[in-house]
């Protein structure tokens, strides 16, 4: 630009000079007049040059401003676009945009994960095989927003589909609500199950109390037997409520286990000593096998670990036959402490194994209820172990026995200073 300005200046100067020399001569003027003409010509030329240079500078400045503005706008657009891309990439919801013909032109990774391959260039029905979504997209292309619910391959989706401005296409946002719906169902089932479990002993207590009121009190023998039954059902109610409270506490975010090094061997011996009499009543033998005299130390909450082992040993006493041997074993394994409660009882049929940690799940509901079970014990076990950062698993074979294994972090591992 500067070079062009200089050329213009030179052009302007030489042009004015020539004009100043030639014009008086051509008009036949005398030399003084020609000199005056020359002087004026030079002055005009100089002025014209200054004006031209200033114009060029001004034009140059304006052009630079336009360029800077264009650069700024382009950078803003790029930043906006990459911000939008980042938002779309981070969204758990699946998002796609179609053109006016209903073909997907933009999609985020969440949709690509569902589709299995790039959704761009395909129609919504090719990506998610549900006619309701395709219909919603068509409605959006005609200017109407839609909300549809879709069941696809065990997943439940809520899709919001809206038109883009000026009929350019449609925008769809798909929200996976499978877990939410499952949680709602579990909660509903839980309330129904809990109410049912509470109703049975309550109804019995009421029945016996009414019978006593209506005359059975006069018969001392019958009265004693009814009162005994009332006490038994009240105890059942109490254990049910205790289990419900224990479960709700284990699940509550307001409660946290107090993790500290716990001597697993000592805890196992305490639990077994507590249950020895009951085991003897059922004809079940209990023993504790710890690999080292002081026992491995786990990073655990002492009370919770005791609760867990009590539930497991109690199960092994109640859900087996007389003559069963129950062993509580503890050992370390690659930075973890494993505690096993193993029995040589009747075992659990394989098809029940994936479900026995569910609330209220019992292999044989009638029999379990007879022995005072609510089906909450193992779900409490699982929650407590998980809250302590561990895991629990079961291995069972019909006729051979059942082994529950708890894996907890070893305390020594936890105490080691981090690198």
Ligand X SMILES: Nc1ncnc2c1ncn2[C@@H]1O[C@H](COP(=O)(O)OP(=O)(O)OP(=O)(O)O)[C@@H](O)[C@H]1O
The contact set with ligand X (CB under 6 A) reads 243, 311, 315-316, 319-320, 343, 345, 348, 356, 361-364, 368, 373-378, 402
* Cβ distance to ligand X smaller for residue 93 or 340: 340
CB contact set of 267 (below 8 Å; sequence gap of 6+) = 302, 305, 306, 309
C-beta separation of 268 from 328 below 8 A: yes
CB of 388 to ligand X, least distance (A): 18
Strand partners, 162: 171
CB of 268 to ligand X, least distance (A): 16
- CA 333 vs CA 190, 268, 289, 338, 412: distances in Å: 37, 18, 15, 7, 12
- Contacted by 348, from ligand X, Mg ion, none: CB < 5 to 8 Å by type: ligand X
CB of 343 to ligand X, least distance (A): 5
* Cβ distance to ligand X smaller for residue 297 or 307: 307
* Cβ distance to ligand X smaller for residue 304 or 320: 320
- Contacted by 304, from Mg ion, ligand X, none: CB < 5 to 8 Å by type: none
CB of 286 to ligand X, least distance (A): 13
Tokens 């080691």 belong to 416
Q: Return d(Cα 105, Cα 228) in angstroms, integer.
A: 75
Closest CA to 321 of 350, 276, 374, 282: 282
- CA 232 vs CA 113, 201, 202, 226, 237: distances in Å: 56, 9, 11, 10, 9
CB of 279 to ligand X, least distance (A): 13
CB of 316 to ligand X, least distance (A): 4
- Contacted by 46, from Mg ion, ligand X, none: CB < 5 to 8 Å by type: none
Q: Which two tokens stand for residue 191?
A: 């309330």
- The residue sitting closest to ligand X, measured at its beta carbon, is 377
- The residue sitting closest to Mg ion, measured at its beta carbon, is 377
* Cβ distance to Mg ion smaller for residue 12 or 377: 377
CB of 251 to Mg ion, least distance (A): 17
Contacting positions for Mg ion (CB under 5 A): 315, 377
* Cβ distance to ligand X smaller for residue 259 or 376: 376
- Contacted by 233, from ligand X, Mg ion, none: CB < 5 to 8 Å by type: none
- Contacted by 374, from Mg ion, ligand X, none: CB < 5 to 8 Å by type: ligand X
What sign does the CA torsion over 238, 242, 247, 248 have? Answer: positive
Which helix (H) or strand (E) is 289 found in, with range? strand 285-290
* Cβ distance to ligand X smaller for residue 304 or 402: 402
* Cβ distance to ligand X smaller for residue 88 or 250: 250
* Cβ distance to Mg ion smaller for residue 257 or 377: 377
* Cβ distance to ligand X smaller for residue 24 or 377: 377
Closest CA to 290 of 344, 239, 249, 327: 327
- Contacted by 368, from Mg ion, ligand X, none: CB < 5 to 8 Å by type: ligand X
Burial class (CB in 10 A: 0-12, 13-18, 19+), 209: middle
* Cβ distance to ligand X smaller for residue 11 or 354: 354
Closest CA to 268 of 319, 310, 315: 310
- Contacted by 170, from ligand X, Mg ion, none: CB < 5 to 8 Å by type: none
CB of 290 to ligand X, least distance (A): 20
Which helix (H) or strand (E) is 274 found in, with range? helix 264-281
C-beta separation of 337 from 264 below 8 A: yes
- Contacted by 45, from Mg ion, ligand X, none: CB < 5 to 8 Å by type: none
- Contacted by 345, from Mg ion, ligand X, none: CB < 5 to 8 Å by type: ligand X
- Contacted by 319, from ligand X, Mg ion, none: CB < 5 to 8 Å by type: ligand X
CB of 366 to Mg ion, least distance (A): 15
CB of 373 to Mg ion, least distance (A): 5
- CA 186 vs CA 150, 156, 359, 380, 395: distances in Å: 20, 16, 9, 16, 25
Question: What's the chain's Rg over C-alpha atoms?
Answer: 43
C-beta separation of 301 from 356 below 8 A: no
C-beta separation of 390 from 369 below 8 A: no
């Amino acid at each position: 630009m500067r070079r062009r300005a200089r050329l213009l200046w030179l052009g302007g100067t030489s042009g004015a000079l020539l004009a100043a020399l030639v014009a008086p001569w051509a008009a036949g003027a005398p030399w003084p007049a020609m000199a005056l003409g020359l002087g004026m010509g030079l002055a005009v030329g100089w002025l014209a040059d200054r004006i031209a240079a200033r114009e060029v500078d001004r034009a140059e400045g304006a052009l630079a401003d336009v360029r800077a503005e264009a650069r700024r706008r382009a950078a803003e657009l790029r930043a906006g676009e990459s911000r939008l891309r980042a938002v779309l990439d981070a969204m758990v919801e699946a998002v796609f945009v179609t053109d006016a013909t209903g073909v997907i032109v933009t999609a985020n990774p969440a949709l690509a994960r569902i589709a299995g391959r790039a959704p761009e260039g395909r129609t919504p029905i090719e990506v998610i095989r549900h006619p309701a979504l395709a219909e919603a997209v068509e409605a959006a292309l005609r200017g109407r927003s839609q909300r549809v619910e879709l069941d696809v391959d065990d997943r439940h989706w809520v899709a919001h589909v809206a038109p883009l401005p000026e009929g350019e296409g449609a925008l769809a946002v798909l929200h996976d609500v499978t877990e939410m719906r499952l949680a709602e169902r579990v909660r509903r089932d839980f309330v129904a199950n809990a109410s049912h479990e509470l109703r049975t002993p309550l109804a019995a207590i009421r029945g016996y109390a009414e019978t006593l009121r209506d005359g059975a009190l006069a018969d001392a023998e019958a009265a004693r037997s009814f009162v005994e039954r009332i006490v038994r059902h009240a105890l059942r109610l109490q254990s049910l409520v205790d289990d419900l409270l224990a479960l709700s506490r284990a699940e509550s975010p307001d409660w946290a286990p107090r993790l500290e090094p716990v001597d697993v061997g000592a805890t196992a011996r305490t639990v077994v000593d507590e249950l020895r009499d009951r085991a003897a009543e059922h004809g079940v033998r209990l023993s504790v096998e710890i690999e080292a005299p002081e026992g491995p130390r786990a990073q655990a909450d002492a009370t919770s670990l005791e609760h867990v082992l009590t539930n497991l040993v109690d199960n092994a006493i109640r859900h087996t036959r007389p003559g069963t041997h129950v062993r509580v074993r503890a050992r370390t394994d690659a930075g973890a402490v494993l505690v096993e409660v193993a029995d040589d009882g009747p075992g659990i049929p394989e098809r029940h194994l994936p479900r026995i940690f569910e609330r209220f799940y019992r292999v044989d509901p009638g029999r379990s209820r007879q022995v005072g079970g609510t089906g909450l014990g193992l779900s409490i076990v699982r929650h407590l172990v998980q809250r302590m950062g561990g895991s629990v698993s079961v291995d069972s074979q019909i006729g051979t026995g059942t082994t529950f294994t708890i894996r907890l972090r070893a305390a020594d591992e936890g105490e080691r200073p981090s690198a």
